[in-house]
Structure 1
Amino acid sequence: MLRKTETGAGADLDGAGALEGLRDLAVAGIGVPPGISLAGGESQRDAAARELDDLFTRFDRAHRAPLRAWAQAHLAPRRPVTTVFYPFGGPDFCLPHALFPQAREFILVGVEPCAWAEGFDLDFAATVAAARHYLDFSYFITKDLRASIHTFGGAGVLPLLLVQIARCGLAVLKIEPLGADARGVVVTFGDAARPQRLTYVQQDLRDGHWAAGHGLHGRLAAAGELAVFVKSASYLLHEAPFEALRSVIRERAALVVQDPSGVPYELLRSWGWTVDLFGCFTRDIPVFSRYDQSALAAAYRSRASEPLGFGIGYLFEPSGASLMVAAPPEGPCAS
């Protein structure tokens, strides 16, 4: 079970009790931190736990397991990465972990709050409701997520992250506030002898919203070479107000794994990067039809393509899903 640190700054898991929580949370795999009470009656929590189990079973079969197999075939032969940067990732931990299970740190950025604070009610049924679309389709709908997490009180998306870490079979070792230079949390997890970290930063990534002195820049700089994952990003990297983020990716990324909503294919090629294409692409869903993807569609037409075999992001049908793997010239993560 989780216990307080002596400093009170975070919470630690007793090693012998890792992932051993109350019975009605056992299927979710998490214990209940001190200062958090469970909302709802026992029967309600049991029903939510059963639904979560069913949702994760389908999610593993349709999304996480095939993505993990794809990564083993196409990413594992490359030089290992230590830090994964997932802008616009929000509370999606399962998929970057499937891509890079050995990474030492995952830096996720979302506009939703995420905080470690005692004294709120953990509504297990609400957690399941907030995760339902993600587990069915592999991405969160921002407006729905914002509405859902109001029931989590000051924790924001933290319950969603803890459930995913646990369902990946990983022990939560410590939860800490991020610090004074940025808003968010740091969750230490995995093997205590070789711990990994999930750093969640609540941040608007538009130009001018994270100046050079922002803590996120410092964390990215300290991480060295990055593997960048972009998925279901609302084509924001095609927009003018994200020049600073594009520059960070160009200057610091050793590898980019993305769906069509990431850095424009034509821009990657103009940087001189190699771009390997996987799956099939003709167009994205109609709501994003205003973005010019003709260069990407032409690149897919010029090659023999095979379906990914699994859906990911907005193109969740396996027959039309696609991923790109891009690397800078002479990049250290090149095959």
Structure 2
Amino acid sequence: MLRTSVFAFATLASLALGAARAAEEPAASPNDMARFLAGLPAAAESPLAAYNKDPSWMRHAQAMDSTWRSLNQRQVSRIQAWSKANLAVRQPTTFYMFSGPDFLYANAFFPGSKTYVMSGLEPVGRLPESKFVSRRTVPGIVGHLQASIRSITNVSFFLTKEMRYQLSSTQFNGTLPILMAFIARSDKTITDVSFLTVEPDGSAKPSDGTPKAGVPNGVKITFKDAAGGEDQTLYYFSTDVSNGGVKNSGFLKFCEGLGQGDAFVKSASYLMHSDSFSSVREFLLEHAAAIVQDDTGVPVRFFKREDWDVRPYGRYLGPIPLFYGRYQSQMAELFKKNHSTPIDFGVGYRWRPNESNLIIATKQQKKAENR
């Protein structure tokens, strides 16, 4: 009995000492955590530097390096070249509704935006903290991150059900770890991360990150190019953008307060084809100077000829079988009559390069000036 008691005491003392040491260790910065998640080495002075030689993390880094080399070659570099050639005039704000944590493609199509506003039903999650990182937890952390981004790095969109499972599977849950990893892999340095909610009048209110019912829960990430430059801001909101969801939430009022922007839509389940999402559709038509989208975005019938110049790119083959009822005859006519320009990358549900479609809808100058 005495031997058991002594052993138990020694065990408790050891655990207490370990906890005390962990408490004394400085916390890693959000940028350190972003680099850790992205498979990029920590600086020598970082609390995470010891993991640069951890076998599990090293395998993660090798996998991420390989993924990004391939992704940059077949997608990102081509999209950036296309964007530079075809989006000469850009607004400082980019609205990316139905995005989930897809900063990867937001930055590829709109690399210089001062502000990104992204939204989805997926929860924000907690700020990743170094106190939860240990030799024991690293395999699970990096494994779930890789699983979460596998579909978007392969086929350009998230598989919602798969992502929801992965985003709730570890201490590093929600969209925030993915956003941070994508920002780091885009050669950005994160300078601040804070949480907020949006009031019914559209004003932002600081939050401790605990989700609150009935309001948009968000995160604000401030970052800049690793080489320097001006601050950029990314807002991600976990919110319902159906008519019922935005009616009293203040989300669209918050967006309106940012002024005119550009908009990006892809792989959006054709939600804005439904009258249940007419409010967000009307917001984009009213407040976007240009909309870059695939056929899952705003139906082309809403781009009135006197208000919009619409240019087609790629091939329109109609929806994939899952959305067979969303075929647009006007879209087919647009691509046929306007002799669409080929694209050398894949995007959206028809992710193969020779099957993908995009349009750029640009508001006519007179209409844009009168907004």
TM class by shorter-chain length? 0.7 to 0.9
* Distance (whole Å) between structure 1 residues aligned to residue 60 and residue 356 of structure 2: 31
* Distance (whole Å) between structure 1 residues aligned to residue 39 and residue 250 of structure 2: 36
Of residues 171, 178, 191, the one that matches 1:173 is 191
Q: Kindly indicate whether residue 66 of structure 2 is the aligned counterpart of residue 54 of structure 1.
A: yes
Following superposition, the deviation at residue 306 of structure 1 comes to 3.9
Q: Kindly indicate whether residue 223 of structure 2 is the aligned counterpart of residue 189 of structure 1.
A: yes
Following superposition, the deviation at residue 44 of structure 1 comes to 2.3
* SS at structure 2 position matched to 1:194: coil
Q: Kindly indicate whether residue 246 of structure 2 is the aligned counterpart of residue 210 of structure 1.
A: yes
Larger relative contact order (CA 8 Å, sep ≥ 6): 1
Encode CA deviations 1:13-49: one digit per residue, 9 max, x unaligned. Answer: 6xxxx66988x66743678xx999x99x932222222
Rate the CA distance shift 1:269–1:292 in 2: closer, same or farther, 3 A.
farther
* Distance (whole Å) between structure 1 residues aligned to residue 299 and residue 34 of structure 2: 44
Following superposition, the deviation at residue 175 of structure 1 comes to 0.6
Is 1:116–1:176's contact at 8 Å kept on the other side of the alignment? Answer: no
* SS at structure 1 position matched to 2:147: helix
Structure 1 counterpart of 2:320: 285
Following superposition, the deviation at residue 120 of structure 1 comes to 5.3
* Distance (whole Å) between structure 2 residues aligned to residue 139 and residue 322 of structure 1: 14
Rate the CA distance shift 1:180–1:99 in 2: closer, same or farther, 3 A.
closer
Of residues 124, 129, 153, the one that matches 1:114 is 124
> Counterparts of 1:1-335 in structure 2 under 5 Å?
27-28=39-40, 42-75=54-87, 77-78=88-89, 80-117=90-127, 123-153=141-171, 155-179=173-197, 181=199, 182-191=216-225, 194-212=230-248, 214-269=249-304, 272-330=307-365, 331-332=367-368
Q: What is the aligned length?
A: 312
Greater Cα offset, 188-197 or 283-292: 188-197
Encode CA deviations 1:115-160: one digit per residue, 9 max, x unaligned. Answer: 3445656712210111111101111011111011112446411111
AA aligned to 1:140 is: F
Following superposition, the deviation at residue 254 of structure 1 comes to 1.1
Q: What is the aligned-residue identity percentage?
A: 29
AA aligned to 2:340 is: S
| TM-score, normalised with respect to structure 1 | 0.84
AA aligned to 1:73 is: A
AA aligned to 1:114 is: V
AA aligned to 2:258 is: A
* Distance (whole Å) between structure 2 residues aligned to residue 199 and residue 51 of structure 1: 28
Is 1:67–1:310's contact at 8 Å kept on the other side of the alignment? Answer: yes
* Distance (whole Å) between structure 2 residues aligned to residue 218 and residue 254 of structure 1: 17
Following superposition, the deviation at residue 102 of structure 1 comes to 1.6
Encode CA deviations 1:74-123: one digit per residue, 9 max, x unaligned. Answer: 00x22x31110100011000211122222111001011011344565671
Structure 1 stretches of 5 or more lacking a match? 1-10
Greater Cα offset, 103-112 or 180-189: 180-189
Following superposition, the deviation at residue 284 of structure 1 comes to 2.2
* Distance (whole Å) between structure 2 residues aligned to residue 215 and residue 174 of structure 1: 24
Following superposition, the deviation at residue 218 of structure 1 comes to 3.1
Greater Cα offset, 117-126 or 54-63: 117-126
AA aligned to 1:207 is: N
| TM-score, normalised with respect to structure 2 | 0.76
Is 2:39–2:60's contact at 8 Å kept on the other side of the alignment? Answer: no
Rate the CA distance shift 1:180–1:189 in 2: closer, same or farther, 3 A.
same
Rate the CA distance shift 1:88–1:146 in 2: closer, same or farther, 3 A.
same
